[in-house]
Homo-oligomer: A and B are copies of this chain.
């Protein structure tokens, strides 16, 4: 039985001694034939490993073999013994399906035992079908195409503007992958921020999974597009190690703009009968293996041990700590005052940043609505405008947070976070620690209408493994949610509201993840109302109205929707006789209601009534919409009366 209950980096990493020569200048440090042999060895290992696994992508590995041999054994400055050293160059293999080539490179430099490769894709091995940070030499999981460059952008941004260290970031994408719009968001970001420490390598092997890519081997078209996006773009023969060395050196010498190296390659390079042929995507070579391996072995030229030099890192990244971050002052509000929770997001961001300068905010041109602009005003160096490109926004934050350099807070309208669902999904596989604030949730935003209303955001973030979801009921709770989020591993989500709601907590209220608060109760309680955000206030008004008619309703603020306070819900539900009413400004599926249902699933004698937004809503004033969908105080009074008939 494999124990993968803990999501942490175990790696398969042998400790190795690394003896390096010191080259301060760029230039060739390893013999060309050695690099060619290393590329061939990467191919051999890729073929053997995928043949043993009976699955995988040998042809996509082959097209990048020289690119990896030059990067790993000539160009990149890194420590084999410390793959996550913050001063080292970074490589993001965005075309994650070429994982065998990546693993093979780490076999050649001595970190991964060669025998491990034969366990590729088996349940006992961390050498998975696509790279994940279960391996110490992988920063971010890849395999969903088009995401790697955003994370590389985040790493490069931190290197250039935050750490101010001379590491360089390399990102290798496939040509088919360049059809993903997220790549073009990240290209625009890199050029806007003049990330001259970033090198994008496009592996133009011509073939997608099922047919030729849109641009085939028209290298000039890639060049025109990348130059139009203000990259220093060059076309090279991706199987010529000398040309690659020169290109990487030219990239290092280019200031003020990122470089793109457009590499003409062949899928299945050096695989006779397979190279550049259709229908070889994602398939081990099977019956062709023997012939291919014989040919590859015949290409090896250097006798004896391959001698290579991995250049050392040039400057040391500063030591930083991103733990134990506090609000520098407690919340300071007056009960009953009307304030939007989104405003407290900005307030708390600044307090956290005062506690630790590594707190950074990333926004998608919504900073005056999400209130992240408060941090920009406090210190522009801790704010990154990512413009209207949510996929890249999230990816940049994931990249920035790598190697524990930054406490990243991402914000935009919660509705538009759906744009980055795949990025969040992958961020969980990446074991990323990012904090996400989605403002303007629910119909309570009012007139802007359904396109701007997040009504599926809780459902989305609940599916993210290891996530924590805060849905603060007021500004006091929001500030404390932010403080907890900053110190909580995994992906946290803070759901804030547009309209002002009443301050219901005193400034000294304490909050815990997974611990609900009862915000209203009586001795006559016959039902437990569980609400969130705006519906807390409405539920409290409803409970007060009901009490006048002799009906007691206890109101619970779950504070976190994930984890949800299972024990608290069950015990309070039992105290009031087993009836629960959930009222939420969200669609019925996957929201607070279903979280509550999951908590009481195995209990007998608890009945739950769910009230949510049942269909695509429409524009209108906040009060009109809360009324139309029955989640205002008046509606809740009726729902309680109906629920009591259950």
Contact = CB atoms under 8 A, between A and B. Distances in A.
A305 interface: no
A2 interface: yes
Given A228-B227, A429-B450, A388 B618 contact: no
Interface string A27-46: 00000000000000000000
Interface stretch (A181-189, A401-409, A514-522): A181-189
Contact of A618 (B4, B418, B605): B4
Given A123-B628, A422-B416, A129 B589 contact: no
B141 A619 contact: no
A464 B587 CA distance: 8
Interface in A172-187: 176-177, 179-185
Nearest to A209: B365
A609 B597 CA distance: 11
Contacts of A209: 365-366, 368-369
Chief secondary structure at chain A's binding surface: loop
Contacts of A146: 388
A7 B616 contact: yes
A479 interface: no
Contacts of A221: 228, 230
A1 to B, nearest CB: 7
A365 B208 contact: yes
Contacts of A388: 145-146, 176-177, 179-180, 208
A1 B211 CA distance: 55
B179 A619 contact: no
Contacts of A159: none
Interface string A206-229: 001111011000000100110111
Interface residues of A, number: 121
Nearest to A448: B129
B597 A391 contact: no
Interface string A415-436: 1101101100110110000000
Interface string A53-65: 1011000000000
Contacts of A418: 421-422, 425
Interface string A385-417: 101111110000000000000000000000110
A588 to B, nearest CB: 7
A302 B212 CA distance: 57
Contacts of A624: 122-123
Given A366-B210, A368-B209, A144 B465 contact: no
B602 A646 contact: yes
Interface in A355-390: 363, 365-369, 373, 385, 387-390
A604 B602 contact: no
A380 B97 CA distance: 29
A608 interface: yes
Contacts of A587: 463, 465
B452 A121 contact: no
Interface of A: 1-2, 4-5, 7, 53, 55-56, 96, 121-126, 128-130, 132, 134, 141-146, 176-177, 179-185, 188, 192, 208-211, 213-214, 221, 224-225, 227-230, 363, 365-369, 373, 385, 387-392, 415-416, 418-419, 421-422, 425-426, 428-429, 446-452, 455-456, 459-460, 462-466, 562, 578, 587-590, 593-595, 597-598, 601-605, 607-610, 615-621, 624-625, 628, 646
Given A4-B617, A176-B365, A228-B228, 16 more contacts: A121-B619, A122-B624, A128-B618, A129-B451, A130-B448, A130-B449, A181-B391, A208-B387, A210-B367, A214-B387, A419-B421, A455-B463, A590-B594, A602-B608, A602-B609, A604-B605
